[in-house]
Structure 1
């Protein structure tokens, strides 16, 4: 009998430092606390300090999971690291993390650069490794520190994004399939709508003069070394692509009524509410778990799953529709059977 990939456990880690709405309201007097929460649904974001990296958060999340004893370090066959906040341009941060965690040297370790759809892509990769017989136990790690890319005077992104890491243990199991109906897509025509323009090979930071600050029509200040987001374009993309992606999960054999929980990328409350209304999803099945940490990019779905587990909303037999979408443009969805 072919073994199938199954999620066994999830843990996550947030930085200690908090950026709450009261602090933002003092810095941006035109936005009061209630307005920030009403627009974003976020009460606080957790932000790394100057000495902290995404892989530090990832290390602590992995240690939490490994110390629970559901798997031995010696039995980990692969560590997949999804990030757009690598420690270095090279080597791969996954290799550094493998060494820090004292995982065996037979453990494969690699990075992949993906944003808000990264968890879905990572599940697909892990499923392929396990169900092809190459691995039995895989750690899927997502970790981001977008705060490093944000200009403090840019409230369009500073109010949304927080830093985090999450780790998901996937193992070979009888029965299943437990991960199914993977759907993917991308459209690089939207790349410039969520981007850090300077820092890669196209525009190397070392070859650029100190980038000049500029102010947009909304009063947000940034440089080309900072994160830029075209909010209206991202919203339009999400309202167009996500309903198409979501619909592709269902057919005559599976309907929306068969789903116990809908876990979408936790972008912000405004976008999630708009998607839920457009898709006519029941509010009691629609997960919203980001008020305490903000939009953590590739970490939002595993954090939401972990919070749902801890609240008893997920148990054996629960069927989940998971949907990721954003930077790239990139999108992905799948079914998770617990």
Structure 2
């Protein structure tokens, strides 16, 4: 038995934050500087009362509608988020009810960031090869923008909100190959929100500003950009080599590389370090930004629209945790999903 990606869809919130709007708030920057630095011109922001579950439901409904999928065929939900609606109950249970899926299905959440989609595919494949499920609904959704301080111009230029839905099945035209996964929790403090959960339930109210006027607070998203960059440069080349090895392939056997869309600078640097040709390296950042666990499936969807999902496709996710994962997809069609 094999596992396949059978269909993909995604949802973006209605509110759009453009570089022009950011420059109005941060006049020391220019539209060109933001675009050149991170490769992003606009990003979508979840509504004040719009949650990850709300977006997940919309992405799943779009998946069913666009691909004529019967809700009765779903027998497992996997939901990747670091922005759950509640500590409990499980968000995947809420999604099952909102979508009116059968009650005989399994449903669970897992908490991962930028490696979350690759990890999700590995869990889906395990469920299918273990004969636990035949059609797994894999959903990613994040509302990181709700955790960013309004004066944090760096993170506000990078992150956007989104949700994606993928049907992983016993049949399809995109076979899921072998995985390489990794974890190093020593890097946890370099991308973190320190308060709000059980370790530090009470807000610290410790807002300070560094010498460049950037806010630092335990109550908002903190990212040590230098350390994250160094981690990425050290880890991703090894990840790609290990992923290719586990799939008995070489770099020249890959038709398309789809990395986590962190920002233009990082992924360009990785492409050059790995000596990957530009026409084999897919980027879809400009209109959506870094949507965390949703970047890879959004890129896959858009690559499919362009007819670029054919042959061997290498995926690589990496980030918060630290956590990283790679896999090769083997596509047997040449046009669109």
TM-score (norm 2): 0.95
Asked whether the equivalents of residues 4 and 174 of structure 1 are also in contact (C-alpha less than 8 Å), the reply is no
- Secondary structure at the aligned position of 2:170 is classed as strand
Per-residue CA deviation, residues 97-136 of structure 1 (Å, 9 max, x unaligned), is 0000010001111100000000000000000001111110
* Structure 2 residue runs without a partner (length 5+): 332-337
Paired position in structure 2 for 1:187: 184
- The corresponding residue for 2:328 is 335
- Does the 8 Å contact 1:153/1:222 carry over to 2? no
Equivalence for 2:314:
321
Between 38-47 and 52-61, report the one with greater CA deviation.
52-61
Measure the CA separation in 2 of the matches of 1:19 and 1:275.
Answer: 27
Aligned to 1:118: 116
Number of residue pairs aligned between Structure 1 and Structure 2 = 330
Deviations 1:219-242 (CA, angstroms, capped at 9, x unpaired) = 112421100000000000000011
Show the counterpart of 1:95: 93
SS at structure 1 position matched to 2:244: coil
Q: Report the TM-score, using the length of structure 1 for normalisation.
A: 0.95
Q: Provide the residue aligned with 1:67 in structure 2.
A: 65
CA contact (8 A) 2:10 2:164 kept: yes
| Separation in 2, partners of 1:79, 1:5 | 15
Gaps of 5+ in 1: none
> What residue number does 2:151 align with?
153
RMSD: 1.4
Tell me the distance in 1 between the aligned counterparts of 2:172 and 2:100. Answer: 28
Q: Distance in 1 between matches of 2:160 and 2:125?
A: 28
Within-5 A mapping of 1:206-217: 208=203, 211-217=205-211
Contact 1:4 / 1:175 at 8 angstroms: preserved in 2?
no
- Picking from 253, 256, 279, the partner of 2:251 is 256
Equivalent pair of 2:78/2:109 in contact (CA under 8 Å): yes
Match of 1:321, SS? Answer: strand
Q: Does 1:230 align with 2:227?
A: no
Counterparts in 2 of 1:1-338, with a 5 A limit? 3-173=1-171, 178-205=175-202, 208=203, 211-251=205-245, 253-315=248-310, 318-338=311-331
8 Å contact kept, 2:81–2:110: yes
State the shift of 1:175 in Å: 9.4
